[in-house]
Amino acid sequence: MAIMYTTLAVLLATAVTFALTPYAFRLLGRTIGRNIRSRTQQRRELLLRRAAAEEQEAHEHDAQSAPATKLPESTSSDEDWESVADGKTPPSAPPLTPPPPSNADFAGVIAFFHPFCNAGGGGERVLFAALLATQHRYPRALCIVYTGDHAASKAQILANARTRFNIALAPARICFLYLGTRDHVLASRYPRFTLLGQSLGSLVLGWDAVTLLAPDVLVDTMGYAFALALSKWLFPAVPTAAYVHYPTISTDMLASLSDEVSGRGLNAGLGKGLRGRLKHYYWRLFAKLYSRVGGSVDVVMTNSTWTQNHITRLWAPSRRRQGKTHPITVLYPPCAVAELEAKIPLNAASEQKRTRNILYIAQFRPEKMHHLIIDAFHAYLLKHHNTTNTNTTNNPSPSSPPPPPQPKLILIGSVRDASDEKLVYKLRLQAQTLKPLGGQVDFVINAPWPAILTHLATASVGVNAMWNEHFGIGVVEYQAAGLVAVVNDSGGPKVDIVVPVDGEATGFLASGVEGFADAFEAALGLGGEEGFAMRVRARRSAGRFSEEVFARGWVGRLEGLVELRVGWAGGSEG
């Protein structure tokens, strides 16, 4: 018993010493990191050998299946990729220029931390577009993805990426490593102190990842900054990058606690009383911790100017203290602009097919504010459309133009679970209660992409009501499809997307029920030539968010990471 107490005392004293001594703490991390790299080295070599063998097998299979087609001998990464992908460049492959000779043959392990890689959302589009650009730039590198999607095999995940996003990857040079602790980052696990719980849970998940395989470069594409900080502590010579879709906490979130305005986030007005003050203090303390953790990331990319501004406020001071020199930059997420432009024509003939319908494509979640749009559509009908119909009916005149056809509000979105189903039920009741709406609100649940394309090709207006939407891929899709966008006067849609082109508007900004109602009237009231001109401007504006633009930007950041790795690897343990 005495020996046990003595051992515990020694361990506690050692822990306190390390905690109070920054140098000792860093030394402890490096020591553990060296041990992890040593223990995972055999797996690393096995995966690299397997990738080379699969790649060679794919080359031989291509040569046998198409003997008449002989590819020219070259070391070009583009040609290597083409031979892997059945002799053809995937439809979504961006036309990148040949990479420069510097570090072009980098053959290390580039890891992506994305525990929900098979979810099929906008974040996953970013992941697979980044993997595609990475394989073009560094064809000899091994890309690994840390994921918790145990139910999906590598072949299934890659097939889903091709089906959902039209992105085809070279299977030989990609590997999925499966995590067993993903439940540690689920919000449902932490009914109290959710932000802190998920962040600490990401440390568990990050440990699970790096102990499977120590990478040469680590990129987080989901927003788990704490996992990157853990990697930096263990492997100082491993460059880290974060693609931030939204800050875990922001100054707007803190301000919303005292905000009484309807629609300003789910926590608006919750800062009252003792409980509200405690929540405010807790959020402020967490924001300081989040700022310190984010300061350790080497390369930071954000999906919008709105996110960039918030991340800069939170992370920039800590980054300066830690000597980070790469600026926090915006890299817009890849959107299916080219596909929409190809499948939905924008000309005089297509204008004749458009209805006066208003389209809202968004997951059925509370923050998407579907209820506000239903109320706004009701207000629009009462204030504008129904009044016109009534006056025309009561005062018929042969010379009066016929009233415009009544528009419909079409709500398209996915339903994930029982809580989403309950929300849809409430929204249906809301639409039925507002009698003038009649059957003019349609719900389309879990629609396939072809059905969504049909609605995009025939509607006139696309709406997004979320307050402080961080970017708004759906709004870009509206514009690329030729719809007039009506969006919340906040966040990414306001700052980055619905912006003037050549000094003229590409859509409308609104807030509140009356604001959206008036914006619907303005959008639907555009004349033929005026409306068509706005659609053309909006489509031209959407070109800034194409997959090709994203690929070029990603490659630039990735080259910086590889240069850091090559430069640091010789000087310290990674």
Ranges of H-type helices in 262-417: 273-294, 305-321, 337-343, 348-353, 370-380, 386-394
Decide if 225 contacts 118 (C-beta within 8 A).
no
Q: Which residue has the higher pLDDT, 14 or 563?
A: 563
Angle formed by the axes of helices 449-458 and 473-481, nearest 10°: 60
First to last CA, the chain: 40
Given a cut of 70, is residue 75 above it in pLDDT?
no
Mean pLDDT of the chain: 84
Q: What is the pLDDT of residues 493-513, one digit of tens each?
A: 999 999 999 999 999 999 999
Identify the architecture of domain 337-389+405-545 in CATH. 3-Layer(aba) Sandwich (3.40)
- The number of beta carbons lying within 10 Å of the beta carbon of residue 89 is 16
Q: What is the pLDDT of residues 325-352, one digit of tens each?
A: 999 999 999 998 998 999 999 988 888 8
Give the integer Cα–Cα distance in Å for 468 and 490.
5
Average pLDDT over residues 267-281: 66
Question: Which H or E run includes 509?
Answer: strand 507-510
Domain 39-62+77-93+104-240+547-574 class? alpha beta
% of the chain at pLDDT higher than 90 = 58
Average pLDDT over residues 536-542: 94
pLDDT given for residue 13 in this prediction: 54
What would the two tokens of residue 82 be?
A: 């083409």
With H, G, I as helix, E, B as strand and everything else as coil, classify residue 90: coil
Decide if 373 contacts 478 (C-beta within 8 A).
no
pLDDT given for residue 103 in this prediction: 63
pLDDT given for residue 434 in this prediction: 86
Decide if 161 contacts 167 (C-beta within 8 A).
yes
Give the integer Cα–Cα distance in Å for 144 and 215.
9
Give the integer Cα–Cα distance in Å for 543 and 541.
5
* Per-domain boundaries in the chain: 39-62+77-93+104-240+547-574, 246-329, 337-389+405-545
Give the integer Cα–Cα distance in Å for 483 and 538.
8
pLDDT given for residue 377 in this prediction: 95
pLDDT given for residue 23 in this prediction: 79
Given a cut of 70, is residue 177 above it in pLDDT?
yes
Diameter over CA atoms, the chain: 105
Average pLDDT over residues 187-194: 86
Given a cut of 90, is residue 174 above it in pLDDT?
yes
Interacting residues of 106 by C-beta distance below 8 A, sequence separation 6+: 138, 140, 141, 562, 565, 566
Burial group, residue 442, by CB count within 10 angstroms (0-12, 13-18, 19+): middle
pLDDT given for residue 188 in this prediction: 84
Give the integer Cα–Cα distance in Å for 236 and 391.
74
Average pLDDT over residues 89-115: 65
Average pLDDT over residues 266-275: 57
Angle formed by the axes of helices 22-65 and 225-234, nearest 10°: 100
pLDDT given for residue 121 in this prediction: 80
Interacting residues of 204 by C-beta distance below 8 A, sequence separation 6+: 181, 184
Average pLDDT over residues 236-247: 95
Same fold, 39-62+77-93+104-240+547-574 and 337-389+405-545: yes
Given a cut of 50, is residue 391 above it in pLDDT?
no
- Convert 207-219 to b/e letters by CB count within 10 Å (16 or more is b): bbbbebbbbbbbb
Question: pTM for this one?
Answer: 0.80
Given a cut of 80, is residue 436 above it in pLDDT?
no
Q: What is the pLDDT of residues 122-140, one digit of tens each?
A: 889 999 999 999 999 999 9
